Chains A and B, each alone.
Chain A
Amino acid sequence: MINVYSQLQMLAGKALGGLCLDPQNASPGPFVLGNGDFFIEIPVAYGCSYSDITLTGANGTAMPDASELIDKAIETGVESRMCTAIKVACYYLEAGLVRKPDLIITSNSCCDAMDTLGNLLNGYKPWADVPKFIMDAPHSFDEESYKYMGKQLRQAVTFMEDVFGRKMDWDRLREVCVLSNKQDQLLLEFQELKKAVPCPANPDLSRLGFAYDRWTGERVSPQITDWLEQLVCATEERVKAKLGIEGVNEKVRFLWQDLAGSWPPGTLWARLQQELGAIAIMDYMSYCTLTPIDLTSEETMFTSFGKRFLLEDPMNRQALHTTDFFCNDILQIVKDFKCDAVIMPAHIGHRDTNSRLKIVRDMCREKDIPCLVLGIDIWDKRYMPPDVVFDRISTFFQTTGLV
């Protein structure tokens, strides 16, 4: 049956499906390449394409020939236990499959693997002539840090202007920010609606909306606003009618404390919903903590960008800061979204999470929150196949009496 959610899913899915080796938000302007998510508002307002090569690598792991691709990536000879998404990105780069950019912007956010990729990009011989701008994302989140990051983002704009010989249209940037603030507000509204019991709509739509909004060719367009408005509207109706996800008998709500990666949504999560009534009510790419960009002045605008970069970008929020901060997020999500359990995928590439497992486990035990640590590769299904993961989660829910 085609309902509004499947329509929305199709629309976003189509746009996301187009993300491949080409610039991810192709526009007629110059092409900027980075090793992480840059400020979408900036390239959109400037009228240039921007690609995040990490995302390119991550997308590779979801391709039909992913296993072959990952094997080739392993053969490149970068660190053998590095994050698979980054390995695939390294392979794309080394195999000469990535379009040559007009400018490279790299930063150390959010993990060691991203740094490695950044250094590979900066040191890639065939692109020695491409101008490069490097930013430092500090492992701190206070006003000073936001200003520090904001200054660098402002410098990045000046650098772009110098390289391309064209000025930023500041009115256009404001316009884009207004639209982007509106879209973020809608993402937050959908997130609020997800707190209802039963959960009114597939929670993964948050993640989809976030990716659609930020990574596709439609970036910050009225089309995205429309998509999000429909999402919120349809979900409000369902909350009023106390309806849960169609065809799902909700029994367990859990926090998937990591990125979804390239495989859980279509396989594992759908099966958990159908067979166990277990819903991944929140994951770390869906968790929206965005605050509006302050448009008072150019400085406040860039400080807001700095804040977003350090604190509100999901991967940075998860990886850059202290374990206490990470644990507080877990507790907050469990409380707000009425989670019955926490599942720590503990992606093998996440050195930060893999350095925190005892603290998280101890905290959950103390607070009486059932917690399961998996140790999977969120990009390579062969490391621990979805069937095995399903069985482990299922046993965990049974032994804790949740199903």
Chain B
Amino acid sequence: MKSGLKSEVFEKFVKIAGGIINPSIENWRNNGGRVVGYTCSFVPEELFVAAGLTPFRIRGTGSDQSAGMADDYFEAANICSFVRHCFNKILLGEYNFLDGAVIGGGCDANRHIMDNWQKSPAKTPFLHRLLFPHSSGELMANYFCNQLADIKGKLEEHFDVQITDRKLWDAIKFCNEIRDLQKELYAFRKAENPPITGAETVPVIVAGYSMPKEEYSSDLKTLLDELRGVSAPDSKYRARLMIVGPGHDDSSMCDIVEDLGGLVVADLTCFGGKVIFGAIKENGTDPLQAIADYQILDRPFCPKNLGAHPHIHKEIFDKIHDFKVDGVIGQNFLCCETWGGELYILNKELKEAGIPMLRVEREYAADSTGQLTTRVQAFIETISGGAL
């Protein structure tokens, strides 16, 4: 199902999200701009923005089924395919445009991207790891604040920039504004007949981590204006669904759902709803502490974190209510233990609440969609009360 959205700026987002290097990044670099890659949404973009750098979230977009070279580094049978495909792109040289990268200390597989990158032929000048605490609390937020200070110092030294408190507060404000715009985009989907589908939302969000921020912010404003003017046609979808799980940097799952007559109206995923949550406090004495508090105390949605479940639960149930969700698709990549465990708990809770859930374990790239399609179809039919 398509919304019929016709928009130049939307097409631009689709192109950017559909690949890695893109004209906006090339243009930025040609004008002397520098780009720093990062993995995991716990690495705060605000730090890079304050340093005048463009942050670029590492993805494996465009991979086919094999992660080829990366499988030498990460054992294919036991390591999540998202990590393998991302690393394969690094080995293939598709991230050679980066001036540096910060690897988040997320799950066991993700944090080893750092070690393997260092030893690989891909020579990226600035490579650092940012350790995260894996539970939530004041002590942990302070720990994270120290880690941020450490990375800040390294960025200043390597890129010969000064990241002052003023610049950090400005970056916080600016990134909050972008999150607000993204939330506006999500809010359209609360409507009975949204002007934008789930599959169409994904590239708009992903582009935000893949191009210069100012340009993105301005393009997104244009798109939102366009959407405000659209009178959405009466769409005949059969169920309003929500996607929960890691990744979600492409629209493949939404495409399956929406081709079968469902509509994805919300998500809590590592590239989507988890990232655009809330806002960082814009005042206080220490901007790094404000960032740390947001990541560790306000936004503890990573199932790698102990004690994260009640937060995840609340966020999902709130969204089910706000977006009038009929059913949830919980998808995790094979070998992702943390999301696997989280979805296991969630499944039980949704069952108790009478909300249907489909559990899917899949590979990141070019999954054999046959079986998946059949399962999604059966799920939609169950929810909507029969075949079309």
Contacts and interface: CB of A to CB of B under 8 A. Distances in A.
A295 B310 CA distance: 39
Given A78-B344, A354-B79, A355-B112, A115 B131 contact: no
A137 interface: yes
B266 to A, nearest CB: 22
A358 B341 contact: no
Given A115-B304, A136-B134, A348 B79 contact: no
B355 interface: no
A268 B334 CA distance: 30
A151 interface: yes
Contacts of A78: 340-341, 344
Interface in B113-128: 114-116, 119
Interface residues of B, number: 50
A359 B116 CA distance: 7
A181 interface: no
A351 B119 contact: no
A302 to B, nearest CB: 13
B115 A148 contact: no
A117 B338 CA distance: 9
Interface residues of A, number: 54
A86 to B, nearest CB: 8
Nearest to A140: B131
A319 B307 CA distance: 21
Contacts of A135: 135, 306
Interface stretch (A15-23, A43-51, A118-126, A283-291): A118-126
A106 B306 CA distance: 8
Interface in B73-112: 73-75, 77-79, 83, 105, 107-109, 111-112
A127 to B, nearest CB: 13
Nearest to A323: B115
A152 interface: yes
A357 interface: yes
Interface in B121-178: 131, 133-135, 137, 139-140, 143, 146
Nearest to B71: A358
A323 B134 contact: no
Interface in A79-123: 79-83, 86, 106-108, 111-113, 115-120, 122-123
Given A119-B309, A135-B135, A136-B133, A112 B334 contact: no
Interface string A326-352: 000000000000000000001011111
A139 B73 contact: no
A7 interface: no
A119 B115 contact: no
B116 A116 contact: no
A138 interface: yes
A362 interface: yes
A75 to B, nearest CB: 12
B225 interface: no
B336 A354 contact: no
A134 B305 CA distance: 10
Contacts of A292: none
Nearest to B143: A148
A136 B345 contact: no
A78 to B, nearest CB: 5
Contacts of A151: 139
27 contacts: A77-B359, A79-B332, A79-B340, A79-B341, A81-B335, A83-B337, A107-B135, A111-B337, A115-B337, A118-B306, A119-B306, A122-B306, A134-B306, A136-B139, A136-B306, A139-B111, A151-B139, A346-B75, A348-B77, A349-B78, A351-B79, A352-B108, A356-B112, A358-B73, A358-B116, A358-B119, A362-B119
Q: Which 6 residue pairs spanning A and B have beta carbons closest together? A: A79-B340, A116-B341, A355-B112, A108-B134, A351-B108, A323-B115
Interface of B: 72-75, 77-79, 83, 105, 107-109, 111-112, 114-116, 119, 131, 133-135, 137, 139-140, 143, 146, 303-310, 332, 334-342, 344-345, 347, 359, 361
Given A81-B78, A136-B135, A351-B109, 19 more contacts: A78-B340, A78-B344, A79-B341, A79-B361, A83-B337, A115-B306, A116-B337, A119-B306, A123-B309, A134-B306, A136-B133, A323-B112, A324-B115, A348-B77, A350-B78, A356-B112, A356-B115, A358-B119, A359-B116
